[in-house]
Structure 1
Amino acid sequence: MGKTNCKKVLIIGASSGIGRALAALWAAEGHLVGITGRREDLLRELTDTCPERYRFRSFDVTDTKNAVANLEALAASMGGLDIVVISAGGGDVNRSLDFEIEHGMIALNVDAFTCLADWAFNFFAKQGYGQLAAITSVAGMRGSRQAPAYSATKAYQIIYLQGLRQKAYKEHNGIVVTDICPGFVDTPAAKSPVRFWVSPVTKAAEQIYRGLCRGRKVIYVTGRWRIVAWLYRWLPNWLHERM
């Protein structure tokens, strides 16, 4: 984490959902919060609630070349960073295997995610400390017949973060890497036709906030989804295929 009581936190993808709720919570606790998203009006709306606590830049993370330039500018305007949370991501149910839908999820959850994670890791490695966190999903534990690309891209994110965590340990560069692994959270992004143990977004944000403050490596949201993640991971293939 950072070296002062007031953290400088960048949340990539804070227009709505978990990212927005998490940004509001960090700001309410007295921290300086950088926020990004495609919808500038929503970023301005959040910033106007407490202008001294927010800095924002509006851009599309899938435009990776411009995304890095915007992140650099935002970090400079904040005077550095202690924490980066990648909340930009999405998914769709795609029973018909429409390639355009799959391709869009890959562009967002793999290409853009990798660009953002690499930038944050290198930023923190250069300064000698920092915490990189990203919102993945319990869905990344196994494949999904309803949303193949979503589960696959979330699996990619989980494994990529594991690789960065190992890299940070071996390089002794002071970086904490956190996988925020939610089940169902009550946001517009939750499109699964079957949902259970649905967490209110404010509750999810509070649990994530506490986990980040404690430097956790994996945060399950809510905590009981750890059980589902374990079951999914060890579920026999023959049984998984029949689900």
Structure 2
Amino acid sequence: MQKAIIVGATSGIGKSLALLLADNGYKVGITGRRKNLLAELHTERPYSFYSLTIDATANHLEENLQVLTEQLGGLDLLIFSAGIGELNNDLNIDLELPTIDVNVKAFNKVVIWAYHYFEEQKGGQIAVISSIAGLRGGAIAPAYNASKAYQINYLEGLRQKTKQQKLAISITDARPGFVDTAMAKAEKKFWMATPEKAALQIFNAIKAKKNVIYITKRWQIIAFLLKMIPRFLYERM
């Protein structure tokens, strides 16, 4: 039986992934900082879920992940689904710093812990829910876009590292566009996917050990266009 941990499983894509993994025979360690939501999710698949209340920004994150891994009896897949981001036209530093704490610092702690675990195990999978927003800067949410760019580039660096070390560690970067969750805060939204649809595409990408996937797949078109827009033009948009 495959074993997985989802960091950030209490809502949105993380919750949908947890249920999908459980329905496909995984033992799943679910984490989140909202104890009540974690308890509600646990009751849906009590024989598949092992829950642990964890604030991704708190101390002892790595120790808690180790505890949960021991409860599962091992680990094959680590999914980082935690994330925050606020619209911040006024550049309020009190909105920027929490985004960095979760999307950069906590992300870093989790993926480094997982990488070392799988390095010692000689194999495993890491999947991260980043964002198409990480492809370019964004005036309305500068810290969010920048934090997702950090994740995208960090994961690419880790994939390069696995090749250099000749390790059987698969690293999947899932880049959603708009998904119908609390994270979808832009004023104009289109091609909105349900969390369930997003989770299914991510699950299939994990099974196929894909490096990068856009959620939903049509967002590849937007990604291509974003990359093609010259900087001088993009900065005036």
1:53 matched to 2:48? The reply is yes
Q: What is the aligned partner in structure 2 of residue 114 from structure 1?
A: 108
Q: What is the aligned partner in structure 1 of residue 190 from structure 2?
A: 196
Quote the offset at 1:90 in angstroms: 1.2
Quote the offset at 1:234 in angstroms: 2.1
Which secondary structure state, in structure 2, belongs to the residue aligned with residue 181 of structure 1?
strand
Task: Describe how 1:127-138 pairs up with structure 2 within 5 A.
Answer: 127-138=121-132
- Cα distance in 1 for partners of 2:45, 2:94 equals 39
Query: Quick one: which of 83, 94, 115 aligns to 2:77?
Result: 83
Which secondary structure state, in structure 2, belongs to the residue aligned with residue 93 of structure 1?
coil
- Identify unmatched segments of 5+ residues in structure 2: none
Q: What is the aligned partner in structure 2 of residue 141 from structure 1?
A: 135
Counterpart code for 1:43? L
Paired-residue identity, %: 46
Which secondary structure state, in structure 1, belongs to the residue aligned with residue 189 of structure 2?
coil
- Cα distance in 2 for partners of 1:234, 1:124 equals 36
Which secondary structure state, in structure 1, belongs to the residue aligned with residue 44 of structure 2?
coil
Q: What is the aligned partner in structure 1 of residue 25 from structure 2?
A: 30
Instruction: Tell me if the contact between 2:19 and 2:45 (Cα under 8 Å) persists in the aligned partners.
Output: no
Query: Quick one: which of 202, 219, 228 aligns to 2:213?
Result: 219
- Cα distance in 1 for partners of 2:141, 2:219 equals 19
TM-score between both structures, scaled by the size of structure 1: 0.96
Aligned residues between the structures: 237
- Cα distance in 2 for partners of 1:239, 1:78 equals 51
Which secondary structure state, in structure 2, belongs to the residue aligned with residue 48 of structure 1?
helix
Query: Quick one: which of 226, 229, 234 aligns to 2:223?
Result: 229
Quote the offset at 1:53 in angstroms: 0.4
Q: What is the aligned partner in structure 1 of residue 152 from structure 2?
A: 158
TM-score between both structures, scaled by the size of structure 2: 0.98
Return structure 1 stretches of 4+ with deviation > 6 angstroms: none
Q: What is the aligned partner in structure 2 of residue 13 from structure 1?
A: 8
- Cα distance in 2 for partners of 1:159, 1:233 equals 15
Q: What is the aligned partner in structure 2 of residue 104 from structure 1?
A: 98
Query: Quick one: which of 153, 164, 168 aligns to 2:162?
Result: 168
Which secondary structure state, in structure 2, belongs to the residue aligned with residue 51 of structure 1?
coil
